[in-house]
Amino acid sequence: MHNGKVFLIGAGPGDVGLLTLKAKRYMSEADVILYDYLAGDEIIAFARVDAELIYVGKKAGHHTLKQDEINRLLVDKAKKGKRVVRLKGGDPFLFGRGGEEALFLVEHGIPFEIVPGVTSAIAVPAYAGIPVTHREYASSLCVVTGHESIDKASVPWKNIVGIETIVILMGVSNIMEIAKKLLEAGKCPDTPVAAICHGTTNRQKTITTTLDRVSRDASFIQAPAIIVVGKVVELQKQLQWFENKPLFGKGILVTRPISQGNREQARLFSARLQDLGAVVYEQPTIKIISPDSFDELDSAIKQIRKYQWLIFTSVNGVIYFMQRLKVCGMDIRELYGIKIAAIGPQTKLELERYCLNVDYCPDEFVAEALVEGLKKYDKNGQHILIPRAKDARNVLENGLREQGAIPHVVAAYQTIIFENERIKDLLLDHRIDVVTLTSPSCVKGFCSIFDGEDMQAYLSGVRIACIGPITQRAAIELNLRVDTVANEYTADGLIEAILG
């Protein structure tokens, strides 16, 4: 069998957006991925679903595998013809032992590539508002390890004390000794120092102090952390941008359902919250699945020419309807002449993706508004097909019947409770500041998790934010306190309500 190949890849400092395009490509092509604890779940998610994932993380005092074992594993997998990714936090050649691994591969005749990563030595200070060089503050930079092993010569502190900016990696546990060595080497006691933990993530925390006080002021900083020594730290107060974001550090629970239709919408919702600085926990409370039978929906589709209107109340309704249209051997040409109404901009957008124009979409994204808006159309005796969730509210059906129409409601999909115990753990750990609820079904699924337990005890100090009055009403009916309701019943509207 031909040898495989090894890719030594830098995962960057933590923010998934700082992963390089080449790294992402090789991740998605790999047969095997060996990864460290600094490679987050969002980065690992780029792996193929059938890729073999092997955790080889190293923390102070605890190594899953020794370095020699990692080296041999890389060779063994490559000799089996595998494309192997060795994923490391930061850059593989900056205190990442990537050079050692590359030399071992050379000794065993294994082809390899190096994919540099954005190094935490520069990126983390940048996210804290600290430029490691500045024309008026520092024109020299030194990066050193603060984690000295017994088989390695000590850092020559006397030789580097004159360098204007010193960035120390892996130095949290030795911070007192490092400060002492720098002071003994002649560094001024009042030299500014910054300690930054969980850099480039929404858990980032920055402490600024001076060299003679760093042992006391930064003693509670936990790894992973970067220490910056030098006058450039003074710029942090003016240039701090990341930790000034309006939702920075706030834990927000996103309870959107597991479904085909909400996957992209949920991703965009979470991404915008993260852009605002929030720590987002995507934990579904319901799951969207097919109805017990498609017979009724298929029958309606096969008789589609009898309907004058098609009304969609959700993205999922559109997706399931279009899937069954194809299964029935039909396409959108069969919808010629049929008027289409939709509730909400996302539902309208989904229809437009199929090149279908929407004749009516209410300004307020609830069934009541749709019923009111459709009054201007003559629907007396007209047949209206409504593919929607099983057991949804009957407001739309009743309202249209009162207007003389003949509504036909069919189940295009159904929602089931997704028992998610992880949510309780997050609440008990006080990681959640805001719970977002985007539908009555999500409310029902969320409340069901507690199953007789004291729900209010879990929610002490937590804000409940609902996407609109219908969801709010469902929450109140289940004795769930609601603190925030969106004025515009969309994901963006919900975010604005949380910010307000």
What pLDDT, in 10s, does the model give residues 30-57?
Answer: 999 999 877 878 899 899 999 999 999 8
Q: What is the dihedral of CA 367, 369, 372, 373, to 10 degrees?
A: -110
Higher pLDDT, 2 or 469: 469
The answer to whether 171 and 102 have CB atoms below 8 angstroms apart is: no
Q: How far apart are CA 165 and CA 230, in angstroms?
A: 5
Residue ranges in 365-452 assigned as alpha helix (H): 367-373, 395-402, 422-428, 440-448
Q: Report the side by side order of strands in the sheet with 434-437.
A: 279-282, 251-254, 434-437, 463-466, 484-485
Is residue 455 part of the annotated active site? The answer reads: no
| Tens-place pLDDT, residues 180-222 | 999 999 999 999 999 999 999 988 999 999 999 998 887 778 8
| Domain definitions of the chain by residue range | 5-118, 122-244, 251-285+418-499, 295-414
Q: What is the pLDDT of residue 150?
A: 33
Mean pLDDT of 459-479: 95
For the domain spanning 295-414, the CATH number is 3.40.50.10090
- 441 near 281, Cβ under 8 Å? no
The yes or no reply on domain 5-118 and CATH 3.40.1010.10 is yes
- The whole-number pLDDT of residue 215 equals 82
What's the pLDDT at 291?
95
d(CA 265, CA 141): 43
The tokens of 284 are what? 């579904």
Alpha helices in 166-252 (DSSP H): 175-184, 214-217, 236-239
The domain covering 122-244 belongs, at the CATH homologous superfamily level, to Tetrapyrrole methylase, C-terminal domain (3.30.950.10)
Of all residues in the chain, the percent with pLDDT exceeding 90 is 79
| pLDDT at residue 131 in the model | 98
Q: What is the pLDDT of residue 2?
A: 62
pLDDT for the residue numbered 385: 98
Kindly tell me the burial class for residue 357, based on how many C-beta atoms sit within 10 Å of its own C-beta (0-12, 13-18, 19 or more).
exposed
Q: How many CB atoms lie within 10 A of CB 111?
A: 12
pLDDT at residue number 149: 45
CA–CA distance, 177 with 47 (Å, rounded to integer): 40
Q: Which runs of E-coded beta strand occur in 37-79?
A: 52-55, 58-59, 62-63
Identified catalytic residue from 27, 170, 322, 455? 170
Q: Which residues contact 52 (CB under 8 A, 6 or more apart)?
A: 31, 32, 33
Least confident of 144-148, 285-289, 335-339, 387-391: 144-148
Tokens found for residue 226: 């970067």
pLDDT at 221: 81
Low-confidence winner among 155-159, 234-238, 371-375 (lowest mean pLDDT): 155-159
* Spatial separation of the C-alpha atoms in residues 32 and 117, rounded to whole Å: 19
Task: Name the active-site residue from 58, 79, 180, 287.
Answer: 58
Note if 58 is an active site residue: yes
Q: Is the pLDDT of residue 61 over 60?
A: no
Residue pair 257/415 in contact by the 8 Å Cβ criterion:
yes
Asked if residues 386 and 408 have their Cβ atoms less than 8 Å apart, the reply is yes
* Of 247 and 346, the one with more pLDDT: 247
41 is annotated as an active-site residue: no
How is residue 49 annotated by DSSP?
T
36, 250, 339, 379: the active-site residue: 36
The whole-chain average pLDDT of the chain stands at 92
Which class for 293: exposed (0-12), middle (13-18), buried (19 or more C-beta within 10 A)?
exposed
Tokens 């600290």, residue located: 130
pLDDT digits (tens, 9 = 90+) for 83-124: 999 999 999 999 989 999 999 999 999 999 999 999 999 999
The architecture in CATH of the region 251-285+418-499 reads 3-Layer(aba) Sandwich (3.40)
Task: Give me the pLDDT at residue 167, please.
Answer: 97
In whole angstroms, what is the distance from residue 480 CA to residue 422 CA?
19
- Closest among 192, 185, 225 to 206, alpha carbons compared: 225
Least confident of 54-68, 202-216, 277-291, 465-479: 54-68
Domains 251-285+418-499 and 295-414 share a fold: yes
pLDDT one-digit tens code per residue, 237-268 = 999 999 999 999 999 999 877 765 555 566 78
Tens of pLDDT, residue by residue over 123-170, are: 999 999 999 999 999 999 999 998 764 335 578 888 999 999 999 998
Q: pLDDT at position 263, please?
A: 55
